[in-house]
Structures are given as C-alpha cells and as structure tokens.
Amino acid sequence: MTVELILVKEHNGVQFTTSTLVSPRETWGKKIDFLLSVIGFAVDLANVWRFPYLCYKNGGGAFLVPYLFFMVIAGMPLFYMELALGQYNREGAAGVWKICPIFKGVGFTVILISLYVGFYYNVIIAWALFYLFSSFTGELPWVHCNNTWNSPNCSDLWAFNNSLNDTHKSTPAAEYFERGVLHLQDSEGIADLGLPRWQLTSCLAVVIVVLYFSLWKGVKTSGKVVWITATMPYVVLTVLLLRGVTLPGAMDGIKAYLSVDFLRLCEPQVWIDAATQICFSLGVGFGVLIAFSSYNKFSNNCYRDAIITSSINSLTSFFSGFVIFSFLGYMSHKHSVPLDKVATDGPGLVFIIYPEAIATLPGSSVWAVIFFIMLLTLGIDSAMGGMESVITGLMDEFKFLHKHRELFTLFIVVSTFLISLFCVTNGGIYVFTLLDHFAAGTSILFGVLIEAIGIAWFYGVDRFSDDIEEMIGQRPGLYWRLCWKFVSPCFLLRLAYAITPEHEHHLVDNGEVRRFTVSCSSLFT
C-alpha cells in the first residue's frame, strides 16, 4: 500500500505544492510482539552461562551492588537511547544517522558486526540442536567411555571421584563434546580444517531454514515466532528449578550462589566484571534495538519499554542462577568435590557440566530434551535479532531492496550459512574461537561510544529530548540527559582500559580486549 504525501510551502506569498508516493513503514502486529522480540534478543545463552558464575565468583549477593549501579548509570540510559533513536527516525542502524550524516559509518559498523557474529553464533545453536537429537535415546551418549570417539584417557566420572583433579583424565561428557561432536582429534590445527561434517552441517542448515522463515516476511512473522522462542525458556527454567531444588546438595549450591561477601566490593575486578556484564548483556551496539524499535508506532512509550525489558533481562540472569547452581550443588555433593571444581562459565557449562548432571537423573533423556530445547529457543531469537539488524539496516539504506524482502533475506541467510561451514569442520572450533575472540569485543564498545557521543554532543541532548517529547509527550528528566551526555560516554571510554592490564594497553588501541571475549579455549584444557 502506498499513500500520497503532499507538501505545501509558501514563498513570497506564493504557495508551491509537491506530492510524492511513499510506502508506510510496517509496524508490529501487537505491542507484545515488540516487547517479546526485544526480551528474546537480550536474554540469550550468556544469561545462563555467564551471569550466575560471575555472581558466585564475585561475592555472591554482593555482586548485585555494582551490577545494579552500572545498570542504572549506563545500561538503561544506553538501552533507552537506542530504542528512542530507532523509533523516532524509523530507520535501521545506518539510516538513523540522517540526523548527523558524518556518523553514518558507525551504523554500517554495527551492521557488519551483527553480520559476522551470526557466522559463529548460529553454530552454537547447531551444537544445541545436535545434542537435542542425540538425547532421543534410552541412554545418553555422554554417560560412558565405551564409544568409538573415546580416548584411553576417558574415565567414568560416576565411578572416578577424583577425575576432576586429574589433568590426564577426561570425562565422558567432555570427550563427547570435544571428540564426538567437534571431532578435534581429526584436526591438527587451523591449517588442517578438513571438510564440513555432515551431521553438524545438517543441524546448521535446519537452524538457517528456521531463521529464514521467521524473518522473510518481516516483523509480521518474527513477531509471532517470539511468542514461542521468548517464552519457552522461562517455562523450562521454572521446570528445571523445581527439579533441581529437590536434588541432594542443591541448597548448598544455591547458598554458595547467594552468599554475601561485601569485602569483595573492595576489589576492582568485581566492579570491572559487573561493568562488562552490563555492557554486553543488554545487547546495545548491535543495531538490533534500533531496528526493532523502528517498527513501533511513532507515539509508542519507548521509555516504559526500556525500563521493562532491561529489568526483565537482569531478573532473568538472576533467576537462571538458581537453576544452574542447584544442579552444580548436586554435582558437588554427588562426587564429593568442592563446588569451585564444577562451577564454570561459557560453553563448557551448558555442553559439558550440565549434561553430566542431567545424565545422573532418572529419566535423563527427558530432562536432556527439555534442557536443549531451552538452549535452542534462547539462541534462535537472539540470532533472529542479529539478522534483522542486518536486513533492516541495509534495506532502509538501499530502498529498492524493500520490494525484494524475501530474496534479500534468503541472500543474507545463505551467505551466513556458507561462511559458517568453516566452523563445522574438524578444525572448525579454531575458526569459531577466532571469530568469537575478535567479533564483538572492543568494536562494539567503540561503536556504542561513538553512537553516544554523536547523539549527545553532535546532534545534541536537547534536540534528542525534544524528539522524545514529540513521541511520548514527556521530556526525559535531568538524570537521563546527564547520563547520555557525560556518564555513559565516560563509562564506555574507561571500560576498555579498566579491564586490561597496564602492560597490555597498547592492545586496546589495536582493537583487542581479551576480557571482552568468551573464549572456548578453556574447554580443551
């Protein structure tokens, strides 16, 4: 549908009339579609495998003090800023910079980052799908050491209580992931990748097909998919928690998760971990929030949306900690080892430690299916957000693509699939780690910094506040304006140096900040 836009201008008493045909921008079918899409994107795998471990490592409940502090002074203001920016300008990450064209390069930067994050993020979802298929069996394949992929170093964890302390031994679950799924033993390094493995390639293809049919018609289709993908994790987390708290040792794990040690707040690393977690857990800087909000109605209350969705994201992280540590406490109790021997973060938690715990339960296959369905839904809607950022951003910049949304979406997802094939070879984990290490570290931080400076100092906080008042009828308070102009940019500028040792500060200038990345190398040591 198109509408005729008529512009009337008067010059020296003479009126000039021009008209043009414009297509009205698509909007979300329902307000809840937008909220679920934002929540689904922001709440991803890191909420399960990262935050609970940081909380446990950094003083338990005391960690919430710096976490909430940085949430209020930086996380929410930046989240609010991106939602308002996209909604007012009704463009993707590059198009919004018509307000200050010199910063358009920042828009293309975040689009590019979202694109190549998809090259490896979809592989994680493919791993989860592979595990899901493997769970439909009477006995889970990571229980014993009598499989074709096992090495002589494999020791049955259930009968070998000290194996976690033995550097020469590996557990059945660890070998299943490293040798049965990734086939690391068949590669000598990144120079010896080999061909894509058909099992993982098939799983990756399924993921790509799901993404395509979720995105091909725009927010009208993706807004319906998130009703499942954004809500299912909460159902599964609740079910797992109800099962977890009944296990022996579960309460010990939860107590360790919540134990308050305020003395830890005197350590700079605790505050640094909290700042880093906030910066990356909300998903600012990927262009996704801008893209999603650009499909809102102009008068939508983006201020309320920012408060609701960012709060739900943090509460989900906190809630997932109870689920994770109830099972870690159970593992600690069952094998008579200290909790810190089983507590970990990253992919090792969800693909090694947690499957080990599930394998010991009655009806373990059922619990494994439930758990990996949760991982799939956590990953799918986050991947949808990243792809939508790319599609919307480029379509809004190159208007002719609007007529070919289905074909352009197909081009993006197929291109992503072809490049992701490098990550499902025998040596694919080396490519995966390389992408993970360099994809969204300092680059995202720098992008958000320039974005905040562009809005606050070049476009102007006052003008930006006028835009928000025009949309929602309420001008942002002094607090928000101060955060946008001073606090948030300073927070972003200092964070890169704050998390890097002084003798490595030159690495920041070269775009490498090691503590921004979730390295997979720890899985293989």
Known binding-site residues equal 40, 42-43, 47, 281, 313, 378, 381-382
Q: What DSSP letter does each residue of 225-294 carry, written as one string?
A: HHHHHTTHHHHHHHHHHHHHTTSTTHHHHHHHHH---GGGGGSHHHHHHHHHHHHHHS-TTSSHHHHHHT
What would you measure as the largest C-alpha separation in the chain, in angstroms?
94
Structure tokens belonging to residue 298:
């102009």
Distance from C-alpha of 388 to C-alpha of 381, rounded to nearest angstrom: 10
Q: Hunting for tokens 């951003």 — which residue is that? A: 393
CA of 339: how far to CAs of 62, 251, 253, 490, 496, in Å? 19, 12, 7, 37, 31
Helix (H) or strand (E) holding 9: strand 3-11
**Buried residues in 106-137 as b, exposed as e (16+ CB within 10 A):** bbbbbbbbbbbbbbbbbbbbbbbbbbbebbee
Q: Would you say 27 and 295 are in contact if contact means Cβ atoms under 8 Å apart?
A: yes
Start-to-end CA distance of the chain, whole Å, equals 58
* Euclidean distance between CA atoms 447 and 289, whole angstroms: 14
Binding residues for Na(+): 40, 42-43, 47, 281, 313, 378, 381-382
Which residues fall within 8 angstroms of residue 117, CB to CB, at 6 or more apart?
Answer: 286, 386, 435, 439, 440
Element spanning 18, H or E: strand 14-22
84 Cβ contact list (under 8 Å, min separation 6): 293, 302, 303, 306, 464, 467, 468, 471
